[in-house]
Chain A
Amino acid sequence: MNTEKFALEVKELQAFYGKSHILQGVNVNVREGEIVALLGRNGAGRSTLAKAIMGMVDTKGDVIWRGKNIAGMKAYEVAHLGIGYVPESRDIFPKLTVEQNLMLGEKGGKKKGRWSFDDMYKMFPRLRERQHTEAGVLSGGEQQMLTLCRTLMGDPDLILIDEPTEGLAPAIVQLVAEYLRELKRRGISVVLIEQKLAIAMQISDRVYVMGDRRIVFEGTPAELKADANIRKEWLEV
Chain B
Amino acid sequence: MSVLNGVSYGLLLFMLSAGLTLIFSMMGVLNFAHASFYMLGAYFAYQVSSWSNFWVGLLIAPILVALLGGLFERYVLRKTHKFGHVPELLVTFGLSFVILEIVQLIWGRTSVDYPVPPSMSGSLFKVFDSTFQMYRGFMMLVAILMLVCLFLILKKTRIGLVIQAALTHPDTTEALGHNVPRVFAIVFAAGCALAGLAGVIGGNAFITEPGMAQSVGAIIFVVIVVGGMGSLAGALVASLLIGLMQTFAVGLDWSFAGGLARLGMDITAETPGYSLLKLKLSQVAPILPFLLLVVMLVVRPKGIMGTRDD
Nearest CB of chain A from residue B198's CB, rounded to whole Å = 27
A154 at the interface (CB under 8 A from B): yes
- Does B175 lie within 8 Å of A93, measured CB to CB? no
For A56, what are the chain B residues with a Cβ–Cβ distance below 8 Å?
Answer: 171, 174-175
User: How long is the Cα–Cα vector from A150 to B178 in the complex, in angstroms?
Assistant: 13
Residues 173-198 of A, flagged 1 when their CB comes within 8 A of B and 0 if not, give: 00000000000000000000000000
- Of A87, A91, A93, A107, the residue contacting B177 (CB under 8 A) is A107
Residues 92-103 of A, flagged 1 when their CB comes within 8 A of B and 0 if not, give: 011110001001
User: How long is the Cα–Cα vector from A129 to B294 in the complex, in angstroms?
Assistant: 46
User: How long is the Cα–Cα vector from A74 to B169 in the complex, in angstroms?
Assistant: 16
- Does B161 lie within 8 Å of A76, measured CB to CB? no
Nearest CB of chain B from residue A143's CB, rounded to whole Å = 13
Nearest CB of chain B from residue A63's CB, rounded to whole Å = 15
- Does A75 lie within 8 Å of B169, measured CB to CB? no
A120 at the interface (CB under 8 A from B): no
Residues 64-95 of A, flagged 1 when their CB comes within 8 A of B and 0 if not, give: 00000000001110011000010100010111
- Does B176 lie within 8 Å of A95, measured CB to CB? no
Residues 131-169 of B, flagged 1 when their CB comes within 8 A of A and 0 if not, give: 000000000000000000000000000100110110011
- Of A74, A96, A100, A107, the residue contacting B176 (CB under 8 A) is A107
User: How long is the Cα–Cα vector from A93 to B179 in the complex, in angstroms?
Assistant: 17
- Does A93 lie within 8 Å of B169, measured CB to CB? yes
User: How long is the Cα–Cα vector from A171 to B291 in the complex, in angstroms?
Assistant: 57
Q: Which residue of B lies closest to A94 (CB)?
A: B168
A48 at the interface (CB under 8 A from B): no
- Does A79 lie within 8 Å of B164, measured CB to CB? no
B53 at the interface (CB under 8 A from A): no
A103-126 residues at the B interface, CB under 8 angstroms:
103-105, 107-108
- Does B165 lie within 8 Å of A74, measured CB to CB? no
- Does A93 lie within 8 Å of B164, measured CB to CB? yes
B194 at the interface (CB under 8 A from A): no
Q: Which residue of A lies closest to B177 (CB)?
A: A79
User: How long is the Cα–Cα vector from A230 to B81 in the complex, in angstroms?
Assistant: 43
Residues 17-45 of B, flagged 1 when their CB comes within 8 A of A and 0 if not, give: 00000000000000000000000000000
Residues 221-250 of B, flagged 1 when their CB comes within 8 A of A and 0 if not, give: 000000000000000000000000000000
Q: Report, as a range, how many residues of chain B touch the other chain.
A: 10 to 19
- Does B175 lie within 8 Å of A96, measured CB to CB? no
B2 at the interface (CB under 8 A from A): no
For B179, what are the chain A residues with a Cβ–Cβ distance below 8 Å?
Answer: 76
User: How long is the Cα–Cα vector from A23 to B118 in the complex, in angstroms?
Assistant: 69
For B169, what are the chain A residues with a Cβ–Cβ distance below 8 Å?
Answer: 91, 93
User: How long is the Cα–Cα vector from A161 to B30 in the complex, in angstroms?
Assistant: 36
> Contacts A103-B158, A103-B161, A104-B161: A76 and B168 contacting too (C-beta < 8 A)?
no
For A85, what are the chain B residues with a Cβ–Cβ distance below 8 Å?
Answer: 175
Q: Which residue of B lies closest to A147 (CB)?
A: B172
- Does A95 lie within 8 Å of B158, measured CB to CB? no
Instruction: List 27 A–B pairs whose Cβ atoms lie within 8 Å, in order of A's numbering.
Output: A56-B171, A56-B174, A74-B181, A75-B174, A75-B175, A76-B177, A76-B178, A76-B179, A87-B172, A87-B175, A91-B169, A91-B172, A93-B164, A93-B169, A94-B168, A95-B164, A96-B161, A96-B164, A103-B158, A103-B161, A104-B161, A104-B162, A104-B178, A105-B176, A107-B176, A150-B176, A151-B176
B-side interface residues toward A, CB under 8 Å? 158, 161-162, 164-165, 168-169, 171-181
Q: What 10 A-B pairs come out closest when comparing CB atoms?
A: A79-B177, A107-B177, A91-B172, A75-B174, A85-B175, A75-B175, A76-B174, A93-B165, A76-B179, A104-B165
